[in-house]
Amino acid sequence: MNQHSKACFTAEQLQEFLAADEGELYSMLGTLAIASGTPIDLLEAGRAGKLYQAPPTVLGSGQRPFKHSGLEQLGKAFLAKWATQLRKAICENDHLLKEEKARGKREVDVLIATIVASITSNIPELQQFSVLLNVLAVIIVRSGVNAFCQDLS
Amino acid sequence: MHNRGILIFLTWRLALTVLIAADGTPQFSSQANPTCAALLRGLASNPKETQLRVDQVKSQLAALADPDIVVYAAVPNETGMGILRMESTGKGKDIMSETVGQSPMTDATFRRAIAAVRQPNNFYYHRILRDELPLPNKDQGKLVLFMDADRYGFTPETFEYPDAVLLGSEKLETALHNIKRLETEDHAKGSFAGIFGFPRTSEEYLKVFGSQSDGQTFGPLDTWIDHFHTATDTAARRDVQVLSPSSKDEALKMFGEQDGIIAIVIHADGAEMRIPGKKAITLTPSDIAKAHFAKSPFIFLRMCQPTDSGFGEAFLKAGASGVWMNRDTIEASDALKEADEFMRLVRSGLPIRQAIKQIMQKNPNSRLRTLLLAEQH
């Protein structure tokens, strides 16, 4: 088994992620994307204020969404940086679309692993960031491959 | 007030889709303090009580003179979750009733799925719901209602019925009457009142947020002051009387004196809403349900409700003609924008239901996370 297809999450965690808000997942992706950049990227992001955010003024207690506009931007910047390769790995991958239809509901963990494997085979530079790729795969599964590809373009 | 009777909720949601988690994991993420309603009803469904409500709806459908009134209900059963479809065929005639969807999903999974599809763009859960509980596409030209007896938090849009209504009333006929009323009444020159529960001083901040007044949980005081100014600007622009009660009784009395629309944008801690002031005021669903709103105001309600604490039902019990409320958490600035747009549209002469529809069509978050309850009066 490809080491990158190993599940990063438990089944329960996976359901939690799939039920999360899109902004939360992009905030997670942005957080993880920091590690895939260079130290100077991090310094510049910090100096640009992208890592600061005041607590949200929500109208109540209890669980609040993890939404961080700066981290979301970093997550989206990561996608933009690798858009060409991701398009090839995800959007031009007929096998993936078939897998989504066949396994999307019941074997979502297999679909996640397939997406991660497809990305790592197309973008070897990202092989070492398996947690980031698993979060990215969750984003793709949650929104659907077609919708993800539309956003990517 | 704990005698619930058979309140059926008619909620209107214009565009919501719900999904079902495939693995049946029994965690519903919002595990805040138990709310009034949760303590009252229990967190899980009560199949016997649900069945009782369904039977009531059936008998009321049978008594309706109008045919083509369709009610869908989510009914948990021994094999999972079922969707029941009931349709009136005219007075004295048997109604049509059939289970149109059946899924092995558990009650907990269904709840998680419902919460998940309140997030925009959740294809995964939408697909699961659509595949697991597909509803028949045969209701063209009929009035479709949804019934959420177990407070799953779904709306018609959950099942891709954007123009259907989820409405609660002890009498279905009354509910139908209310739908017409909200579709036709003109409040352009009506009286509007508002209560905006934002702290403006460090003392008020402490009273409202209590042990979470560190500034790291609810944001800085300055931002709340800005929100208050935005609210008062909106109130001035839309001719809204800002209410500043000094006690619980006075707050309820003020609500009861209104005959138009009351906008309530406020902090809530579970089943307790907090109105800042010299003396902090707390209102619970129980307090509200005991009040008497003789002039039947319509309530625009925005506060954080990760789980339904029963505020909507309480306002209806007190005599409100309807409540448009949100689910989940909501940012104060988003709540104020919705309030401003709602009042702008209603002031322009649009009936309440049309104003809500228009906002939902433009704003995915409104569409997915708000609902309208209607009752008698």
Q: Which of B280, B278, B299, B279 is nearest to B288 (CA)?
A: B299
Report pLDDT digits (tens) over B200-238: 999 999 988 888 888 778 889 999 999 999 999 999 999
How many domains are there within chain B? 2
Q: Pick from B120, B139, B170: which residue ends a domain?
A: B170
Amino acid occupying residue A118: S
Q: What is the pLDDT of residue A7?
A: 59
Q: Is B187 within 8 Å of B260 (Cβ atoms)? A: yes
State the pLDDT at residue A39: 92
Decide if pLDDT at B375 tops 60: no
Q: Are residues B130 and B256 in the same domain?
A: no
Q: Is B274 found in the same domain as B161?
A: no
Per the CB < 8 Å rule, is B121 touching A104?
Answer: no
Residue B152 lies in a domain: yes
Amino acid B191: pLDDT: 96
Enter the tokens of residue B45.
């469904």
Are A55 and B217 a contacting pair at CB < 8 A? yes
* Contact assignment for B124 to A61 by CB distance below 8 Å: no
DSSP string, A94-150: HHHHHHHHHHTTT-HHHHHHHHHHHHHHH-GGGTT-HHHHHHHHHHHHHH-HHHHHH
Per the domain annotation, does B175 fall within a domain? no
Say whether both B190 and B335 belong to one domain: yes
B122–A142: do the CB atoms touch at under 8 Å? yes
Are the C-beta atoms of residues B274 and B207 closer than 8 Å to each other? yes
Cross-chain residue pair A59–B127, CB shorter than 8 Å: no
Q: What is the pTM of this model?
A: 0.82
Instruction: Tell me, yes or no, whether B95 and B201 share the same domain.
Output: no
The answer to whether B38 faces chain A, any CB pair under 8 Å, is no
List chain A residues with CB under 8 Å of B23: 11-12, 15
B128 and chain A in contact, CB less than 8 A: yes
Residue A90 and residue A118 in contact, taking contact as beta carbons nearer than 8 Å:
yes
Residue B31 contacts by C-beta under 8 Å, 6 or more apart in sequence? Answer: none
> What is the overall mean pLDDT for chain B?
82
- Per the CB < 8 A criterion, the answer to whether B37 and B271 are in contact is yes
B132 in the same domain as B195 = no
Interface of B with A in 207-226 (CB under 8 A): 212, 215-220, 223-224
pLDDT at B9 over 50: no
Q: Over 80: is that where the pLDDT of B34 sits?
A: no
Q: What is the pLDDT, as a whole number, of residue B147? A: 86
| pLDDT on residue B27 | 25
B177 part of a folded domain: no
* Residue B330 forms contact with A (CB below 8 Å): yes
- Judging contacts by C-beta atoms under 8 Å, the chain B residues touching residue A57 are 218-219, 223-224, 227, 331-333
Interface confidence (ipTM) of the complex: 0.88
Q: Is B41 on the interface with A (CB under 8 A)?
A: no
Q: Which one has a higher pLDDT value, B338 or A5? A: B338
Q: Tell me which of A3-12, B117-126, B276-285 is least confident.
A: A3-12
Q: Are B347 and B281 found together in one domain?
A: yes
Closest partner residue to B304 (CB to CB) among A58, A142, A144 is A58
d(CA B46, CA B54): 12
CB contact under 8 A, A143 and B122: yes
Per-residue confidence band for B47, with pLDDT thresholds at 50, 70 and 90: confident
Say yes or no: B36 and B9 in one domain.
no
Nearest by CB to residue B131, choosing from A18, A105, A147, is A105
| Same-domain pairing of B113 and B140 | yes
pLDDT at B39 over 50: no
Average pLDDT on B247-269 reads 94
Q: How far apart are the first and last CA of chain B?
A: 18
Point out the domain boundary residue: B148, B170, B192: B170
Domain boundary (B170, B197, B217) is at: B170
Distance CA A91, CA A72 (A): 22
What chain A residue is nearest to B205 in terms of C-alpha separation?
A: A57
Four-residue CA torsion sign, B276, B277, B283, B289: negative
- Hey, of A10, A12, A61, A141, which one would you mutate to test binding to chain B, going by the most B CBs within 10 A of its CB? A61
Express each pLDDT in B280-335 by its tens digit.
Answer: 899 999 999 999 999 989 999 999 887 778 898 889 889 888 889 888 889 999 99
Do B81 and B146 belong together in one domain? Answer: yes
The model's confidence at residue B121, banded by pLDDT at 50, 70 and 90, is confident
Query: According to the model, what pLDDT value does residue B37 have?
Result: 40
Position B35 pLDDT exceeds 80: no
Q: Is B176 contained in some domain?
A: no
Q: Say how far apart CA B105 and CA B205 lie, in whole Å.
A: 43
pLDDT of residue A9: 87
**8 Å CB contact of A141 and B124:** yes
Mutate to test the interface with B, among A10, A15, A109 (most CBs of B within 10 A): A15
Q: What's the rounded Cα separation, in Å, for the pair B57 and B163?
A: 20
Domain that holds residue B262: 5-17+183-374
Q: Fill in the amino acid letter for A107.
A: E
**d(Cα B130, Cα A48) in Å, to the nearest integer?**
44
The pairs formed by A24-28 with CB atoms below 8 angstroms and a separation of 24 or more are A24/A65, A24/A66, A24/A67, A25/A75, A25/A135, A25/A138, A25/A139, A25/A142, A26/A71, A26/A72, A26/A75, A26/A76, A26/A139, A27/A66, A27/A67, A27/A68, A27/A71, A27/A72, A27/A75, A28/A66, A28/A71, A28/A75, A28/A135
How many residue pairs bridge chain A and chain B with CB atoms within 8 Å of each other?
A: 122
CATH number at residue B252: 3.40.50.1460
Do B87 and B141 share a structural domain?
A: yes
Q: Which of B25, B216, B217 sits opposite A11 (nearest CB)?
A: B25
Q: A68 pLDDT exceeds 80?
A: yes
- Report the run of H or E that residue B252 belongs to, with start and end: helix B248-257
Instruction: Examine the domain organization and report whether B225 and B351 are in the same domain.
Output: yes
Task: Write the burial class of residue B65 (CB in 10 Å: 0-12 exposed, 13-18 middle, 19+ buried).
Answer: exposed
Please tell me the distance in Å from A137's CA to the nearest CA on chain B: 12
Chain B residues whose beta carbon lies within 8 Å of the beta carbon of residue A15? 21, 23, 25, 112
Distance CA A129, CA A125 (A): 9
Is B124 touching A (CB cutoff 8 A)? yes
Q: Are residues B205 and B334 in the same domain?
A: yes
Residue B249 clears pLDDT 60, i.e. is over it: yes
Maximum alpha-carbon separation in chain B: 64
Of A32, A2, A35, A4, nearest in space to A17 by CA: A32
> Residue B123 and residue A21: Cβ atoms within 8 Å?
no
Q: Over the stretch B342-367, which tens digit does the pLDDT of each residue have?
A: 999 999 999 998 999 899 889 888 87
Segment among B56-70, B73-87, B99-113, B361-375 with least mean pLDDT: B361-375
